[in-house]
Each structure stands twice: as C-alpha cells, then as structure tokens.
Amino acid sequence: METLDQYEEDVASARLFVYGTLRKGFGSHGLLQRLRARLIAPGYVFGRLYDLGQYPGAVEAAYNSYRIHGEVYRLPNATVALEALDRYEGFDPGNPEQSLFVRKETTLTLATGGQVQAWIYWLQRVHPAARLILSGDYALR
C-alpha cells in the first residue's frame, strides 16, 4: 500500500475508487491487477450503495448521511486503464445517458486522512428491486 507521501502525481496516471467486485478479495479484482493498479489506501465517498444482485451500484447523494466504503488505486496508464474499465462497467463515454454506470471525478476521504480526487463509477438509475446496503460496505452486505 502506498502512502500519500510516496504517491507521485503523474499526468499519465489517475486515481480510481472501487467499492464492489473490483475490490481486493472479489472476483473481478484481477482486472485491476492486469492493469497494474496500485493500492493507495482504503477510503470512502458520500452516497448510497445498492445491492444489484451480482454487483453493487453507488448513487451520489446530495447530503452526507451515508458513506460508501472502498479502496483507492493508482492507475499507471490512465488512458488504457480507463478504456478497459469503461468496458467492464458498461460505460460509453459517447453515450452516457444509455450507460448503466457513468464515470465521474469525485472527492473522497482516505482512511489514512486527507481528501483526494478520484474517478468513480456511479450508477445511473436505481432499479426498484435494488436493496440499500446500510453499512455502505459491499463486503458486509
């Protein structure tokens, strides 16, 4: 795990916040490994987390009553990595309205302290059958 002091800002890299199946210990984490993503720290964003069955979806909240827990990674080759992650998440940058998730930069809080900007995939629409994960942690659903 990197510390913020060790983290070097690089125009070719980007940060990514993951809260579901891309997290360490889950089935799709291998994608981040193939992309050579490096864990910076655990962290959280404000929003609501829903269980959609095989994966979760995070929804932005206008207020700070719920936290979504996850991990922040550094993507060394952001262009290639984000293209692969967009495909995985069903996000079409050319047609975001029709995408299941939309990728946006957001401010998150690191468990080690401080706030950073990172990409996150927000769920566009909540299905009526989706169940709110009150803990905000997909691992504790």
pLDDT digit string, tens, across residues 42-64: 999 999 999 999 999 999 987 77
pLDDT reported for residue 61: 86
pLDDT band at 68 (very low <50, low <70, confident <90, very high): very high
**Hey, which residues does 14 pair with through a beta bridge?**
75
Residue type, 39: L
Inter-CA distances, 119 with 74, 127, 140, 141, Å? 10, 23, 23, 23
SS3 state at 133: coil
Please give the domain boundaries of the chain with CATH numbers for all domains. Answer: 14-140 (3.10.490.10)
pLDDT reported for residue 12: 62
pLDDT tens digits along 77-124: 999 999 999 999 999 999 999 999 999 999 999 999 999 999 999 999
